[in-house]
Structure 1
Amino acid sequence: MTADPLLDRALVEEATKKSGLIWVRGEGSPARALWHVWHDGAAHLVGDGPGEQPLPGLVDGGVAEVTVRSKDKGGRIVAWTATVDELAAGSEAWEAAVSELKGKRLNAPDAERMTSRWAERCRVVRLTPRGAVTEMPSGSLAAVPLPTGVTTRQAVPAGLPKLLFRRRRR
């Protein structure tokens, strides 16, 4: 984007810090919105365990494409390429990342033992920016939603709106 790598690095860091979600496309997988924490010059993610976000295509030593959106308007701000590193559970880097991640994890079903569950059954991944930012794609990136098991159980009964929005007669 710019001729100055320091400005590119600052743009990546500020935009990623302020965004609640980043769109990450791992090797051989579609882009997916993931929550993260910016810590020590990289985005950190936790997932691939029960109750956590999936991290498809993010393999240790691989490469990922990251697109950062604006927190308030939702538009794309910057795109960058990252080196993927899986942090070993219990290592110093893992402990530092998890201490930041646990403060940002919303609606955890087991907040008191969350970090031990992450160590046993999840992956903590660091996405470190490499080089300059990439060019933003032009046009819409709209795609068909990914398949999910989450569905509505059954249709809303026809009479429900009348029951909910009926005015009381006196």
Structure 2
Amino acid sequence: SKVVMVSERRFLEGLVEWLAVSLKDELFCESCPVATPPLFVPERIDALEKFLRPLLHPRGEVLEICCGSGMATQALKELGFRPWTADLDSCEICNALKSGYLDPERAMVLDARLMDRFFPPHHFDMVVGFMVGLIDEVNWEARMVAEALTSAGWDAEVVANPDDLGIYDQWACIGRPNKRRKVNRVSDRN
């Protein structure tokens, strides 16, 4: 037998890639209910890139939560990031992988609330999430994500991005580790 030594980071990327490729190849489902690839909207990607450029650090490890079909991920890639992406909807992730919009080494079907079970504290320099719709009482998700990040020791904000169409990316939730506060570590909870 052969023993190969790899870093924990590389091992995790390999495991995530194996699961993502298995998902893309439909090993986890009987048939794919989605017949067409996600709609590619260059104008959306360009607008989101312009919105995000002044808000995001030029470097660092980024986690995009609720990545869906991977359209907003394209703006992050245009800005030079290679984000980890996560969504609960396996069909969205599968379709985005089949279309080449997500990186299989970094695409996960995972509830963002469980990230601390897979990644060590301080692994990410930023957590971002984008949504469809306006900021109002209906979009409680943005506030919930910001509150969850804040309670975990992050500085989080919901930033408005209104446009004339009022359809895509009307807001972004951006979180960064709070350097002044002690971040709860997995080992501290036991």
Structure whose residues are more often strand by fraction: 1
Q: Work out which of the two has the higher radius of gyration on C-alpha atoms and give 1 or 2.
A: 1
Question: Shorter-chain TM-score: what band?
Answer: under 0.3
Greater RCO, 1 or 2 (C-alpha within 8 Å, sep 6+): 1
- Structure 2 length as normaliser, TM-score? 0.24
